[in-house]
Structure 1
Amino acid sequence: MTDQPVLARRLGTGDAVVVGLTAMIGAGVFSVFAPAAEAAGSLLLVGLGLAAVVATCNAVASAQLASAHPASGGAYLFGREVLGPWWGFVAGWGFVVGKTASCAAMAMTFAAYAVPGEEWVRRLAAVAAVVLLTAATVRGITRTALLARVLLGLTALTLVVALVVVAGGDAAAPAGGWTATGGLPGVLQSAGLLFFAFAGYARIATLAEEVRTPETLGRAVLVALGVVVVLYALVAVALLHVLGEGLAGSGEPVAAAVEAAGAPWAEPVVRVGAAAASLGALLALLAGIGRTSLAMARERDLPSGLAAVHPRHRVPHHAQLVVGAAVVGLVLVADLRGAIGFSSFGVLVYYAVANLAALRQPVAARRWPRAVNVTGLLGCVVLGASLPVPAVVAGLAVVAVGVAGRLVRLRVDRRTR
């Protein structure tokens, strides 16, 4: 017997679905379709379908692993438990660097919708948002369940307004003339970029210790992903209908769509909704990365100083400050497409490890066929390799730096024993 307290199993399928939706529907849907359309052209919806398939495989792998290992840590924990410490490190490192880039993309999305104007003004606004929200996380202020639901409702309402306006408008992009200039590589690249908009579904898997039955996780994953795929498909069709080829060059595609549809009154609504979604997602991610960094630092997979917890606010303040500084640096030097690509690469590395760990689980722990894990693993590898070359090169370089750092740490540990 153990005296360690356990979490209450109170959540049903509906509760888990809401958690998944709040994690998925956010800044990505307001920004990712433009770079994805630039890559895939008129075959954007094919790229969206591929991204949805890979996301589904990744999500069910995470749910299966969480049922067998109901503790926090995600693929970092799964990799360590099933495959070994090195795999866990690669997953955790991919998550930290990928989600740090996600934070930069969300800050830039906020600035694009909230502060139309010169590029340098937008970058300063994005930096200010990161600094203020980092300060909030250091003081222990994070998104509560109530705030998550409010932001989900606001984001959903914004998208519904945009869809209704576009459907009721007379504007339509000129027919013809836009082809899938990137071919199959372009479609694969668009799928890798669109994967950014799905990231967050594994949040459901973290509820393994709080759902009523293990089967709840699987149902919630499939329902939440199904809702999001339908919503994203509707948004993509609306953007293609109104903007056409112009979608590829739009910095604020959803706002541009309602303006093109002849409803300028709806543009401020979209901008406010997109800005709120971006800030909410940014705040949640900053807190999440800080806590993953804390867990890795406790295992000495990151510098031990990042494991410090503030004596008053009880948050990993060193980790939060380092993450905030890294996000500011990315905001100042990267563009939105580059940040999305780099983020997708890191997160695809994370889920590749999750699929491999699920594939290695014993039969008694399995809930889906191994073919699902094989598909997810191959999908992560193919989509990661298909991302823009600068994102792949930067991602591989950062992974190599992380591996080299851990090798040095292990060597130092052996010498000091």
Structure 2
Amino acid sequence: MSTPPAATNSSRLQRRLGVSDAVFIGLGSMIGAGIFAAFAPAARAAGSGLLVGLAVAAVVAYCNATSSARLAARYPASGGTYVYGRERLGDFWGYLAGWGFIIGKTASCAAMALTAGAYAWPGHERPVAIAAVVALTAVNYVGIQKTAWLTRTIVALVLAVLAAVVVASFTGGHTDAARLELSGDASVGGVLQAAGLLFFAFAGYARIATLGEEVRDPRRTIPRAIPLALSITLVVYAAVATAVLAVLGPSGLAEATAPLADTVRAAGVPALAPVVRIGAAVAALGSLLALILGISRTTLAMARDRHLPHALAAVHPRFNVPHRAELAVGAVVVGLVSFADLRGAIGFSSFGVLAYYAIANAAAWTLAPGEGRPPRAVPVLGLAGCLLLAFSLPLSSTVSGAAVLAAGAVAYFVRRFVRRKAGR
């Protein structure tokens, strides 16, 4: 494969993050997004099969995480699968992965900002969301270490709130109807659609890979941090999903606008509901913080290779962050939250990110044994799972996601044609 131009000193990042920093950034991306945003639409799709859908999403996420970890150790640079696809499969596939990541995760940013607004100040979601995006873009702007510190604080608070929800659910009073409802039937199509929606919740470990250029000893740190973050998240999700289903039942969860707050009220602990609302807002802000971080690094990598405006490749001389990329991402997200639909953004985001990981698994398949290749079954199952879940999503999400990916592909070939005609 052709080697991209080396990053200049003005666009080079510094390695400051250790294993625990990387794990907390991954947790900050995952814990919050799914629990507070994806469980209700997933329950509408799968009903009593919600936990099965969660297990399917976790298996696909494990395969993706393993492939990503091996690739990140081999290519410890900002950009994640954009870099892996380019190096292993060719320039177009790397570009398509980067494009899918940026569009999918930008939609996630809008969803998380609106979630924070809905919990923090119901009825004033959009102004709160805009303020959150501006504030967290500023935090990212002043340095990766400050971002890692804030993410640790957010994750600790959210885990405490979720633990309180689980304890209240299993010790409070709730009806037997919810328990009986769990024995209902669930269709295979519904379970797969739920898994696709819940995959939105597991995709945060990509943030660890996209920060490859800022991690100390990446060949050791990234393969340790990604499975650790994913395993912790799966345990938390399974505990919370079981608790919520035990109290509300599948139909109650499907209709809930604030599932965890509704759960503690139904469990007989209404005083905990305001705490849960605060925890939900904080969790969404933690996800938003890490999302802006990851998107800006992929934007930086694509700008270095001139797939995006090269001006976005600049790194701030004092704060050592891709400041123009971060400001550009923040500006786009502010625009999106002005009109975005929260639930629709989840499906659209899942499609883009599943396409991203499909390319990651295809790239991992090409690794040689001496390059840290995972067991062959891992990338095969991961690739097949990504494609299956992507096309099991609601039709509107699949159509819109495929259309935007296709538009990106057309832009790539038009740009290449123009450059060839210009003799570049």
TM-score relative to the length of structure 2: 0.88
Partner of 1:229: 234
Helix, strand or coil at the partner of 2:307: coil
Is the aligned partner of 1:162 residue 2:165?
yes
Q: Which sits farther off after the overlay, 323-332 or 236-245? A: 323-332
Change (3 A) 1:10 1:130: closer
Taking the aligned partners of 2:152 and 2:104, their CA distance within structure 1 comes to: 25
In structure 1, stretches of 5+ residues that fail to align are: none
Q: 1:186 aligns with which of 162, 186, 190?
A: 190
Q: Give the aligned residue type for 2:83.
A: L
Is the aligned partner of 1:21 residue 2:27?
yes
Q: Give the aligned residue type for 1:372.
A: V
Change (3 A) 1:69 1:209: farther
Tell whether the 8 Å contact from 1:208 to 1:214 is kept in structure 2 after alignment.
Answer: no
Partner of 1:246: 252
User: Per-residue displacement from partner, 1:364-404 (whole Å, max 9, x unpaired)?
Assistant: 21342111100000011011111111111111111111111
Q: Which sits farther off after the overlay, 274-283 or 154-163? A: 274-283
Partner of 2:203: 199
Q: 2:346 aligns with which of 340, 347, 351?
A: 340
Matched residues, number: 411
Is the aligned partner of 1:30 residue 2:36?
yes
- Tell me the CA shift for residue 305 of structure 1: 4.2
Tell whether the 8 Å contact from 2:158 to 2:279 is kept in structure 1 after alignment.
Answer: yes
Alignment of 1:206-217 (within 5 A): 206=211, 210=215, 214=219, 217=222
Taking the aligned partners of 1:384 and 1:32, their CA distance within structure 2 comes to: 15
User: Per-residue displacement from partner, 1:87-126 (whole Å, max 9, x unpaired)?
Assistant: 110110011011101101101211221123x4xx223322
Tell whether the 8 Å contact from 1:143 to 1:284 is kept in structure 2 after alignment.
Answer: no
Partner of 1:390: 396
Partner of 1:144: 147
Helix, strand or coil at the partner of 2:270: coil
Change (3 A) 1:133 1:23: closer
Q: Which sits farther off after the overlay, 132-141 or 389-398? A: 132-141
Change (3 A) 1:73 1:47: same
Partner of 1:44: 50
Taking the aligned partners of 1:304 and 1:15, their CA distance within structure 2 comes to: 29
Change (3 A) 1:64 1:246: same
- Tell me the CA shift for residue 324 of structure 1: 2.7
Percent identity between the two aligned chains = 56
Taking the aligned partners of 2:108 and 2:337, their CA distance within structure 1 comes to: 10
Taking the aligned partners of 2:121 and 2:183, their CA distance within structure 1 comes to: 32
Helix, strand or coil at the partner of 1:386: coil
TM-score relative to the length of structure 1: 0.89
Taking the aligned partners of 1:209 and 1:137, their CA distance within structure 2 comes to: 14
Change (3 A) 1:281 1:9: closer
- Tell me the CA shift for residue 207 of structure 1: 5.1
Taking the aligned partners of 1:180 and 1:378, their CA distance within structure 2 comes to: 28
Tell whether the 8 Å contact from 1:171 to 1:261 is kept in structure 2 after alignment.
Answer: yes
Tell whether the 8 Å contact from 1:10 to 1:212 is kept in structure 2 after alignment.
Answer: no
- Tell me the CA shift for residue 219 of structure 1: 4.5
Tell whether the 8 Å contact from 2:78 to 2:301 is kept in structure 1 after alignment.
Answer: no
Taking the aligned partners of 1:139 and 1:76, their CA distance within structure 2 comes to: 25
User: Per-residue displacement from partner, 1:237-279 (whole Å, max 9, x unpaired)?
Assistant: 1111111111112121111111111212211211111111211
Q: Which sits farther off after the overlay, 331-340 or 86-95? A: 331-340
Helix, strand or coil at the partner of 1:333: coil
- Tell me the CA shift for residue 414 of structure 1: 1.1
Taking the aligned partners of 2:101 and 2:280, their CA distance within structure 1 comes to: 24
